Structure 1
Amino acid sequence: MRKYLAAVDRHKATSGNRFLNYFLDRLFIQAINYAFFFIFGIGYSIIYGEEFYAENEDQSFTFTIISLFIYLALSFSYFFFMEYYLGKTIAKYITGTEVISIDGNKPTVQQIITRTFSRAVPFDTLSFLGYNGWHDSWSDTRVINGKNYVAEKQLKEEISSIGTKEMT
């Protein structure tokens, strides 16, 4: 069981920020998806010398399924790599929020994987309107206001260092 840090909950992102993060991240993922298929279409045209299109229903269904898997892979990759390596997605940069573990540390790979796969649960997107979103609760992570959290953490460190001798 992870140690729970109360300061993390004091600086949780608002529901409005969470909704804005969701909306903007979906826009960015959609833009990445369109860019991927645009590049795919250009590559296909260069290699085969013709447009890519699905004529019959079997090809159309197959293309739809492949497109869905590509979208899911891009979405998973976006959230995993951005949140694990940077602690935030592009939307979180815009809103000034970030993902941390409930103990105040950087989330582990397992936490980010759990968080990312939890987004696939139906109605997870609405769960953040409650106290904690499901992908936060299940992964022991929180989305916080980064500046306020860092300011409180620095203040506590400064207070705890009062009375200690400085090295010269």
Structure 2
Amino acid sequence: MVNSTYIIDDKLLVSGGKRFLNYILDIIFILITVFVLAIVLAILASIFGWQGFLIWMRSMSDLDGQLVFVGTSILYYIFFEGIFGRSVAKFITGTIVVNENGLKPDFGTIVKRTFCRLIPFDALSFLGSRGWHDSISDTYVVNRKALGEELKMFHEFNLIGVKEIS
């Protein structure tokens, strides 16, 4: 009997260097998002007379800024990885988040993965192996093109010996 369930091969896992590049690019895009949102919200606050909000924006503390960054990061990753299976950085580097079967993880898994990123020193966990937000959420970051070729070959191999239905 042929195994019809594909399991991710470790050779498809993205290198630590590419993971680091994804991390840096995502931080840049999150900061751009925060900047654009701040401009849009400031314009809306000016138009609608939300003086309290404008005062808060002008006098934000470091803690306020960090909370805005963390909140934006959570929304960024849940939005992009939840819908596309990839963040903006992963689009650029040609990588994708998948489950152990090479499929897009369900939304709950993406939410779990995103909140695992808040674990202190999560970024450093990649120095050893897959990293905590991958291992805890049972997700993998792989090269998208190589995964597509691997899945195609796997499914074609499983068709060997199967009778065609006319």
Distance 1:12 1:73 in 2: 28
Q: Pick from 115, 131, 148: which aligns with 2:146?
A: 148
Task: Indicate the SS of the match to 1:128.
Answer: helix
Residue deviations 1:68-121 (CA, integer Å, cap 9, x gap): 433222211110121111110110011110001123232122221111011111
Q: Unmatched 5+ residue regions in structure 1? A: none
Distance 2:86 2:123 in 1: 17
Distance 2:63 2:40 in 1: 19
Moved more, 129-138 or 101-110: 101-110
Map 1:110-129 → 2, pairs under 5 A: 110-129=108-127
Which amino acid counterpart does residue 12 of structure 2 have in structure 1?
H
Which amino acid counterpart does residue 105 of structure 2 have in structure 1?
P
Q: Pick from 70, 73, 82: which aligns with 1:72?
A: 70
Identity percentage of aligned residues:
38
Q: Unmatched 5+ residue regions in structure 2? A: none
Report the equivalent of 1:60: 59
Question: In 1, are the aligned partners of 2:6 and 2:151 still within 8 Å (CA)?
Answer: no
Distance 2:107 2:158 in 1: 31
Which amino acid counterpart does residue 5 of structure 1 have in structure 2?
I
Which amino acid counterpart does residue 97 of structure 2 have in structure 1?
V
Distance 1:49 1:39 in 2: 13
Moved over 6 A (4+): none
Q: Pick from 4, 7, 27: which aligns with 1:5?
A: 7
Distance 1:158 1:49 in 2: 61
Distance 2:112 2:67 in 1: 19
Q: What TM-score do the two structures reach when normalised by structure 1?
A: 0.82
Which amino acid counterpart does residue 80 of structure 2 have in structure 1?
M
Report the equivalent of 2:82: 84
In the TM superposition, residue 153 of structure 1 has moved relative to its aligned partner by 1.3
Moved more, 26-35 or 113-122: 113-122
Q: 1:4 to 1:113 in 2, by over 3 A?
A: farther
In the TM superposition, residue 152 of structure 1 has moved relative to its aligned partner by 1.2
In the TM superposition, residue 39 of structure 1 has moved relative to its aligned partner by 1.1
In the TM superposition, residue 167 of structure 1 has moved relative to its aligned partner by 4.2
